[in-house]
């Protein structure tokens, strides 16, 4: 029986969940996977957290050297979050020959190269299944199950907080601010929710997933990012009239050798597989040139779902004779495009008099924006006008929006939402 000593960096929600799973499933893992995993050390300043889990105080400290210098520890699992000290501690562990398992998507997305270099130096492994989509095995699918395909696109709902908010806005007719307060009370959203609602969390995950999908390192600055804080229940209700559901999507595509990566709210047709993903659940769709469509669905966050992905990586790492690191190339500016094609929904408030629509449609025509449908709602001396476009160039559409906004007859551009079919 192979004995494996591990260390846990942090006993927060996921760290505690991981420890619980390792204890509960200890005999199962021994019997079915042939590895006897023991937690030998925990880095945690709050001793009460360790005591609550029944961890011996002698195994708890705040000194990373107690882990790096311990020859019996072969795997380090990190749960700190943020960049430092997680990055420095993991690099030190890797250089010391200890494999790393992490769920820290921000640190990983920003420091992947450094972590890979340290892993090579220490002949150690680097595992990060839990960094994206919680307990859903998306990383290993991309790394080990798609060799017979060139991946053409990856698209998904990868943030449970925003999906919970948008689901409740749609199903209960609530405004964004009210649902956010509710999500914070229930623990789905942080006191400062920016990482989730402004799309940063989804951006980090998309960088990791699209790097694996397209074998090119995707820098964060190349990803278009737009959050959900400006989403209105008015637009969600109008979207329902057109047969649409609103979701925050992470989208990566490889088209004619160019990478397109973006995070933003989008309307989906109600019959689209992602439209039915509700609450805090996540789902990712992968399109391969031979297999076609694949969809993975499950819980995207939480102590046990994310802990299950961490434990999976620990067991998988324990059984490797030789660690395989990710192979990808640097992307150059020429490898990216920010002028993707999309359909659009736009709502604007205009003066309710003759000739206004002609002016607006004239601007659309100038920029070759083709209109699929239009709806007008009266409101005193103003009218709310909604347009749905056919597929258009992002740059052309936004140039048209900018010019329309400057028309005297247009009081406000209330919303612009992309459509995905």
Domain boundary assignment for the chain: 2-131, 138-299, 342-419
Instruction: Report pLDDT for 349.
Output: 96
Please, which contacts does 80-86 make with residues 24 or more away whose CB atoms are closer than 8 Å?
Answer: 80/9, 80/10, 80/12, 80/104, 81/10, 81/12, 81/106, 81/107, 82/106, 82/107, 83/107, 83/110, 83/111, 86/9
Q: Are strands 244-255 and 258-269 parallel, antiparallel or unpaired?
A: antiparallel
Residue 378 predicted with pLDDT over 80: no
CB atoms within 10 A of CB 59: 16
Burial label, 78 (beta-carbon count in 10 A; 0-12, 13-18, 19+): buried
Q: What angle do CA 124, 69, 122 make, to 5 degrees?
A: 20
Residue 333 predicted with pLDDT over 90: no
Rounded average pLDDT over 194-215: 96
Q: Where are the alpha helices (DSSP H) in 45-104?
A: 47-52, 65-68, 86-95
Distance CA 216, CA 210 (A): 8
| Domain 342-419 classification at class level | alpha beta
Residue 63 predicted with pLDDT over 90: yes
Distance CA 172, CA 182 (A): 12
Where do the DSSP E strands lie in 242-302?
Answer: 244-255, 258-269, 281-288, 292-299
Provide the CATH topology of domain 138-299: Dihydrodipicolinate Reductase; domain 2 (3.30.360)
pLDDT exceeding 70 applies to what percent of the chain? 100
Torsion of CA 310, 315, 319, 324, to 10 degrees: -10
**What pTM was computed for the model?**
0.95
Q: What is the mean pLDDT of the chain?
A: 94
Rg of the chain over Cα atoms, rounded to whole angstroms, equals 24
Rounded average pLDDT over 8-13: 94
Of 366, 352, 362, 346, nearest to 416 by C-alpha is: 346
Residue 342 predicted with pLDDT over 90: yes
Residues sharing a CB contact under 8 Å with residue 48, sequence separation 6 or more, in sequence order: none
Instruction: Report pLDDT for 334.
Output: 72
If pLDDT is split at 50, 70 and 90, which confidence band does 421 have? Answer: confident
Query: Residue 179 phi/psi, 5° resolution?
Result: -70, -35
Rounded average pLDDT over 304-330: 90
Exactly one of 49, 105, 205, 216 is catalytic; name it: 205
Residues sharing a CB contact under 8 Å with residue 316, sequence separation 6 or more, in sequence order: 127, 140
pLDDT single digits (tens) 137-182: 999 999 999 999 999 999 999 999 999 999 999 999 999 999 999 8
Strand partners, 334: none
Mark whether 205 is an active-site residue.
Answer: yes
Question: Are 66 and 41 contacting, i.e. CB atoms less than 8 angstroms apart?
Answer: yes
Q: What is the DSSP letter of 12?
A: S
Residue 4 predicted with pLDDT over 80: yes
**Structural tokens at position 150:** 């060139």
Question: Are 250 and 155 contacting, i.e. CB atoms less than 8 angstroms apart?
Answer: yes
Rounded average pLDDT over 262-266: 98
Q: What is the CATH number of domain 2-131?
A: 3.40.50.720
Distance CA 346, CA 386 (A): 6
Burial label, 308 (beta-carbon count in 10 A; 0-12, 13-18, 19+): buried
């Amino acid at each position: 029986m192979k004995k494996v000593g591990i260390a846990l960096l942090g006993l927060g929600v996921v760290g505690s969940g991981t420890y619980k799973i390792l204890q509960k499933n200890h005999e199962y893992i021994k019997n079915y996977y042939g590895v006897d995993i023991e937690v030998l050390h925990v880095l945690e300043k709050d001793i009460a957290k360790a005591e609550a889990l029944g961890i011996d105080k002698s195994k708890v400290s705040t000194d990373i050297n107690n882990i790096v210098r311990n020859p019996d520890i072969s795997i380090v699992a990190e749960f700190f979050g943020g960049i430092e000290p997680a990055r420095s501690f993991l690099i030190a562990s890797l250089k010391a020959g200890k494999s790393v398992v992490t769920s820290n998507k921000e640190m990983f997305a920003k420091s992947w190269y450094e972590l890979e270099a340290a892993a090579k130096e220490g002949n150690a492994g680097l595992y990060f299944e839990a960094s994206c989509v919680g307990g859903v095995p998306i990383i290993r699918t991309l790394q080990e199950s798609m060799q017979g395909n060139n991946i053409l696109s990856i698209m998904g709902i990868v943030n449970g907080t925003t999906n919970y908010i948008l689901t409740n806005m749609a199903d209960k007719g609530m405004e964004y601010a009210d649902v956010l307060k509710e999500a914070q009370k229930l623990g789905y959203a942080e006191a400062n929710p920016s990482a989730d609602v402004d799309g940063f969390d989804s951006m980090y995950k998309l960088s990791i997933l699209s790097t694996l999908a397209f074998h090119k390192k995707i820098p964060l600055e190349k990803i278009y990012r737009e959050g959900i804080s400006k989403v209105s229940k008015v637009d969600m209700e109008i979207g329902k009239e057109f047969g649409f559901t609103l979701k925050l999507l992470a989208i990566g595509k490889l088209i004619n050798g160019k990478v397109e990566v973006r995070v933003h709210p989008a309307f989906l047709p109600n019959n689209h597989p992602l439209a039915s993903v509700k609450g805090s659940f996540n789902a990712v769709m992968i399109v391969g040139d031979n297999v076609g469509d694949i969809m993975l669905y499950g819980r995207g966050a939480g102590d046990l779902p994310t802990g299950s992905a961490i434990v999976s990586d620990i067991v998988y790492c324990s059984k490797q004779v030789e660690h395989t690191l990710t192979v990808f190339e640097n992307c150059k500016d020429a490898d990216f495009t920010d002028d993707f094609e999309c359909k659009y929904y736009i709502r604007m408030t205009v003066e309710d008099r003759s000739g206004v629509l002609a002016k607006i449609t004239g601007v659309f025509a100038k920029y070759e924006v083709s209109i699929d449908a239009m709806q007008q709602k009266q409101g005193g001396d103003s009218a709310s006008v909604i347009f749905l476009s056919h597929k258009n160039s992002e740059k052309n559409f936004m140039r048209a929006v900018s010019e329309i906004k400057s028309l005297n007859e247009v009081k406000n551009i209330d919303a612009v939402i992309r459509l995905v079919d």
